[in-house]
């Protein structure tokens, strides 16, 4: 029931957080930095925005807290790690598929000619 | 020097965190402080850090408070609905209980020579048990103060009737055991529990039942 709210297009913050967690579990600060890096500095989150999004994404079933720590010896116990759920991964792939189709369509209409995207 | 600056920074940030809703802070205060420390450690420029933090505060504070209000309203509505169902159950139970007890008390008072000792024993047990059940149900329900008082009075008087009857018989038996059968004739019957079981508790029960009927009829049972 809760998961229905994310079957629509994802917001940029949600998309980039999912993207940041797509290959490994990360804690808050790592997510923040990765989002900034992946979005070429366009999305700069602060702790409030980040944990607000995380809270809503957990409630929506997109991500979950990972209780095992990747490297417990060198890690601060207070840090919380997050990972994608199956549903979250599916939503991310669906979103990427949507982008791919949009780019393909734009490419067909020669809207993005010269970007080397024709092979999509 | 750097350490002092960082400590002052985290203290100010802690103060600002107090502006968020409590439910949000309960889950995320510590990780948010941790991020702030990480930012201080990796990005030494105070201006950059505070610019980002203040922008973040302005953006997220309003959102979190709004969400908190919305969630509070939903929870209130859910609790209200649950409470109504629960109170309806208590009221139905109370009606069945009152009918049962009025019938039983009537039967017990006027037909006592015909129903026998064993039946009397079990009836008193059942009356006491349903009395306890009503007290617990009424105490847990979100009833108006006056409704709660009348419901509990009904349950307590039923329990009192059953218990007083048992205690009366117990005192009677003890007198017979430690003195003699003729002692009862000389001393007279045990008066305290007898009066409680036959006069005070039945009267309190009637007050409780009538008061509760009036409150139910006037729809003054719910606390809000």
Statement: residue B7 has pLDDT above 60 = yes
Statement: residue A99 has pLDDT above 70 = yes
B12 to chain A, closest Cα gap in Å: 15
A6-52 tens-digit pLDDT: 556 788 999 999 999 999 899 999 999 999 999 999 998 999 999 99
Q: Mutate which of B31, B53, B67 to test chain A, going by most A C-beta atoms within 10 A?
A: B31
pLDDT of residue A120: 47
CATH of domain A2-108: 1.10.10.10
pLDDT of residue A89: 93
B57/A46 CB distance under 8 A:
yes
Q: Tell me which of A4 and B168 has the higher pLDDT.
A: B168
Chain B contact present for A37, CB below 8 A: no
B39/A44 CB distance under 8 A:
no
Mean pLDDT, chain B, rounded, equals 78
B53-84 tens-digit pLDDT: 999 988 888 888 888 887 776 666 666 666 66
Closest CA to A75 of A22, A30, A18: A30
Chain B contact present for A31, CB below 8 A: no
B59/A46 CB distance under 8 A:
yes
CB nearest to B34's CB, from A48, A54, A78 = A78
A80-90 tens-digit pLDDT: 899 999 999 99
Average pLDDT over residues B29-56: 87
Dihedrals phi, psi of A84, to nearest 5 degrees: -75, 145
> Which residue in this structure is represented by tokens 């039983």?
B104
Statement: residue A103 has pLDDT above 70 = yes
Structure tokens belonging to residue A97: 């598929």
Mean pLDDT, chain A, rounded, equals 83
Confidence of residue B104 (pLDDT cuts 50, 70, 90): low
Percent of chain B's residues with pLDDT above 70:
75
CA nearest to A48 within chain B: B60
Q: Mutate which of A1, A26, A33, A47 to test chain B, going by most B C-beta atoms within 10 A?
A: A47
Structure tokens belonging to residue A94: 């669906």
Phi-psi bin for A116: left (phi > 0), alpha (psi -120 to 50), beta?
left
Closest CA to B209 of B123, B127, B113, B98: B98
What's the pTM? 0.54
B86 to chain A, closest Cα gap in Å: 26
Average pLDDT over residues B150-176: 83
The domain ranges of chain B are: 2-74, 82-217
């Amino acid at each position: 029931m809760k998961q229905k709210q994310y079957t629509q297009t994802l917001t940029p913050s949600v998309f980039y957080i999912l993207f940041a967690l797509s290959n490994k579990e990360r804690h808050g600060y790592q997510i923040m930095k990765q989002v900034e890096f992946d979005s070429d500095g366009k999305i700069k989150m602060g702790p409030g925005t980040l944990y607000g999004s995380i809270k809503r994404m957990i409630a929506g079933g997109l991500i979950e807290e990972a209780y095992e720590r990747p490297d417990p010896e060198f890690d601060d116990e207070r840090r919380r790690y997050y990972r994608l759920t199956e549903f979250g991964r599916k939503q991310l792939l669906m979103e990427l598929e949507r982008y791919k189709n949009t780019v393909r369509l734009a490419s067909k209409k020669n809207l993005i000619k010269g970007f080397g995207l024709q092979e999509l | 020097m750097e350490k002092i600056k960082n400590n002052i920074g985290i203290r100010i940030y802690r103060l600002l965190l107090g502006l968020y809703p409590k439910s949000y802070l309960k889950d995320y205060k510590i990780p948010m402080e941790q991020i702030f420390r990480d930012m201080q450690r990796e990005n030494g420029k105070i201006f950059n850090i505070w610019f980002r933090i203040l922008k973040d505060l302005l953006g997220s504070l309003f959102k979190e408070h709004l969400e908190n209000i919305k969630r509070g309203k939903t929870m209130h509505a859910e609790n209200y609905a649950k409470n109504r169902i629960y109170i309806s159950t208590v009221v139905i139970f109370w009606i069945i209980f009152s009918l049962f007890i009025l019938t039983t008390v009537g039967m017990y008072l006027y037909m006592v020579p015909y129903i026998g000792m064993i039946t009397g024993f079990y009836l008193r047990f059942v009356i006491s048990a349903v009395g306890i059940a009503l007290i617990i149900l009424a105490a847990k329900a979100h009833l108006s103060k006056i409704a709660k008082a009348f419901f509990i009075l009904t349950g307590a008087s039923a329990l009192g009737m059953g218990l007083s009857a048992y205690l009366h018989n117990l005192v009677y038996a003890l007198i017979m055991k430690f003195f003699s059968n003729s002692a009862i004739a000389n001393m007279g019957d045990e008066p305290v529990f007898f009066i409680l079981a036959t006069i005070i508790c039945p009267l309190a029960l009637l007050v409780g039942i009538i008061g509760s009927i009036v409150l139910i009829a006037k729809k003054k049972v719910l606390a809000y």
